Structure 1
Amino acid sequence: MLYAQTPAAEKRRLFRERLASGELLRFPGAFNPLSAKLIERKGFEGVYISGAVLSADLGLPDIGLTTLTEVAGRGQQIARMTELPALIDADTGFGEPMNVARTIQTLEDAGLAGMHIEDQINPKRCGHLDGKAVVDQDTAIKRIRAAVDARRDPNFLIMARTDIRAVDGLEAALDRAKALVDAGADAIFPEAMRSLEEFAAVRAAVDVPILANMTEFGKSDLFSVDQLQSVGVNIVIWPVSLLRIAMGAAGRALDTLIDEGHLTSKLGEMQHRADLYDLIDYEDYNHFDTSVFNFQIAR
């Protein structure tokens, strides 16, 4: 009932422990707290919170328009609803190194298990669009060092994302990844890799966990969990997939309303009221205070 029972520090410790095991951890992207509960219910290992999804949820493009307050607030809403660790997209850290330091502590306080910060310039662009530009290596390193110095919980995961592959090629990405690990990054997110061989090259270049971004309609092919595991990937995210599916279904439902005047034909595609009540633990609230929540769930 209410929020997760596992304290944030314990989620981080368990996440680090599981990450060190070498298994591949699956982190679907949650587009709201309810979808995070569904991800947990289905048996995944973690929840991802995408900056692109948060921007889209506000009706904005993913070009660095969101603020730290908005990101941390939404991150807290999602992280507190699940026993799973939540990894959040912190864009470029919301400013200079001192801003990055504040970002880390704010996200720690919000209950996140970790974050990633990228080496794009401001304003940033979606990682799978053309026309990106990255900062010089010294600036990228300063961001990571500021993040590492600022964190208070050593188990809070600081992941460095590099977008340089699409700008200067794979070799530049490997060199940048090594430099970011030397700066203290706990993990590497190589964005817009084009093949399994490129993921394998990153795996060989660094001795920290690496993440694969399996976003649809982007630069990377959509590899399976087994394929990614075979080349040593440690975390895979599907950042926008659930939002895309939900919005696609919503659009089709609205078309049906226009065409038919009702949604009777869509009932089989909807989450049943009883399933929703089960997911949000309605019965537990009923037991907690029957004078307020006094009802029966009908199927």
Structure 2
Amino acid sequence: MSSDTTVSGLFSASVSASAKRQALRAGLASGTLQRWPGAFSPLVAKLVAEVGFDGVYVSGAVLSADLGLPDIGLTTLTEVAGRGGAIARATDLPTLIDADTGFGEPMSAARTVATLEDAGLAGCHLEDQVNPKRCGHLDGKDVVPVGDMLKRLKAAVSARRDDDFVICARTDARAVESLDSAIDRAKAYADAGADLIFTEALRDLREFEQFRKAVDVPLLANMTEFGKSELFTTQQLGDAGYNAVIYPVTTLRIAMGAVERGLREILSEGTQAGLVDQMQHRSRLYELLRYADYNDFDSDLFNFTLEGATK
């Protein structure tokens, strides 16, 4: 193989999982808001990285939806780790993944952390909902007693082998109990070893700011569409002192909106010709997938001919 062929990053990320975890922690400590769009496939993750974001997020709600299931705790650790690992390998960016309630009791949460570490994720978040859980922006959810969540978190932290693997604690108590309860829970979760706090379904910027003033650990904001929280800009969230923001379902909603419109036009018009200008061009897809580098690699390996071979 010639020395000028670029192999790095063709088949997996060009940096180690450990380096990604270190980058995630450095980003959270940088004082600059870390922006993590959701990726529902490795291809989307590649685009997230190329556009210039700071990390990748894998949403449990999106993974469920992509499997044709509602977000009510039906997915398994195997499914989540498999999809998450494939996404994490597709880019050099750190990937944070939604681990729901840890897929069972505290021992299951411990196994979840070990499995996600093995899959190459940079971190995960565990929530304090009862199991089976539901989408954090739906009504009718419930949370476990604080003591039960502390057991869940302590088990997860104890299972961590790489100290840089980020364990994020999510609380859904704002909608179920109160803002003060969510703040108290966040403090307890941080004391139990959580590196990052994700408080779900805050209502307005005042609540985000109030949470920041009360909790002295890195905080993650969820900017999901059609939910209970207003959609704030990165400037607003950065000014409020948040360390990271996720856009968990945005790319899926964009994609599915386009797919539905396209399918309906094909059905009504009998052709996709009117949609071509809205599509990602094949050449752009090939560029994103680095087809040329794969071709160079293949050519360097298989540039021989067999004696006596005929065309």
TM-score (norm 2): 0.93
Indicate if the aligned counterparts of 1:128 and 1:192 stay in contact, CA closer than 8 A.
yes
Q: Give the match for residue 122 of structure 1.
A: 131
Question: Any idea what the Cα deviations from partners look like across 1:234-277, whole Å, max 9, x if unmatched?
Answer: 11001001000100000000011011111111111100000000
* Identity over aligned pairs, percent: 64
In 2: Cα distance, 1:92 partner to 1:292 partner: 47
Structure 2 residue 255 is matched with structure 1 residue 246:
yes
Q: Name the aligned partner's letter for residue 45 of structure 1.
A: D
Cα offset, 1:198, TM superposition? 1.0
Match of 2:89 among 80, 83, 88: 80
Q: Give the match for residue 280 of structure 1.
A: 289
Q: Give the match for residue 37 of structure 2.
A: 28
Q: Name the aligned partner's letter for residue 18 of structure 1.
A: G
Q: Name the aligned partner's letter for residue 215 of structure 2.
A: V
Cα offset, 1:290, TM superposition? 2.6
In 2: Cα distance, 1:144 partner to 1:162 partner: 12
Structure 2 residue 143 is matched with structure 1 residue 134:
yes
Cα offset, 1:293, TM superposition? 9.7
Question: Any idea what the Cα deviations from partners look like across 1:92-128, whole Å, max 9, x if unmatched?
Answer: 0001111110000000000000000000001101000
Contiguous gaps of at least 5 residues in structure 1: 295-299
In 2: Cα distance, 1:288 partner to 1:102 partner: 38
Q: For residues 292 and 249 of structure 1, do their structure 2 counterparts lie closer, same or farther at Cα, with a shift above 3 Å needed?
A: farther
Q: Give the match for residue 156 of structure 2.
A: 147
In 1: Cα distance, 2:247 partner to 2:26 partner: 22
Structure 2 residue 183 is matched with structure 1 residue 210:
no
In 1: Cα distance, 2:222 partner to 2:302 partner: 42
Q: Give the match for residue 66 of structure 1.
A: 75
Structure 2 residue 219 is matched with structure 1 residue 200:
no
Cα offset, 1:291, TM superposition? 8.4
Match of 2:48 among 16, 39, 43: 39
Q: For residues 81 and 214 of structure 1, do their structure 2 counterparts lie closer, same or farther at Cα, with a shift above 3 Å needed?
A: same
Match of 1:179 among 183, 188, 198: 188
Q: Name the aligned partner's letter for residue 271 of structure 1.
A: Q
Compare 197-206 and 215-224 and name the one that shifted more: 197-206
Residue 97 of structure 2 aligns to a residue whose secondary structure is strand
Indicate if the aligned counterparts of 1:26 and 1:236 stay in contact, CA closer than 8 A.
yes
In 2: Cα distance, 1:291 partner to 1:113 partner: 34
Match of 2:122 among 110, 113, 132: 113
Q: Name the aligned partner's letter for residue 160 of structure 2.
A: R
Q: Name the aligned partner's letter for residue 169 of structure 2.
A: A
1:253-272 → structure 2 map (5 Å cutoff): 253-272=262-281
Count of matched residue pairs: 294
Residue 148 of structure 1 aligns to a residue whose secondary structure is helix
Question: Any idea what the Cα deviations from partners look like across 1:176-234, whole Å, max 9, x if unmatched?
Answer: 11110111100100000001111112211222110110000000011111111111111
In 1: Cα distance, 2:283 partner to 2:105 partner: 48
In 2: Cα distance, 1:224 partner to 1:291 partner: 48
Indicate if the aligned counterparts of 1:286 and 1:293 stay in contact, CA closer than 8 A.
no
Larger-Rg structure = 2
Alignment root-mean-square deviation, CA: 1.2
Q: Name the aligned partner's letter for residue 264 of structure 1.
A: A
Q: Name the aligned partner's letter for residue 273 of structure 2.
A: T
Q: Give the match for residue 297 of structure 1.
A: none
Q: Give the match for residue 169 of structure 2.
A: 160
Structure 2 residue 89 is matched with structure 1 residue 93:
no
1:1-12 → structure 2 map (5 Å cutoff): 1-12=10-21
TM-score (norm 1): 0.96
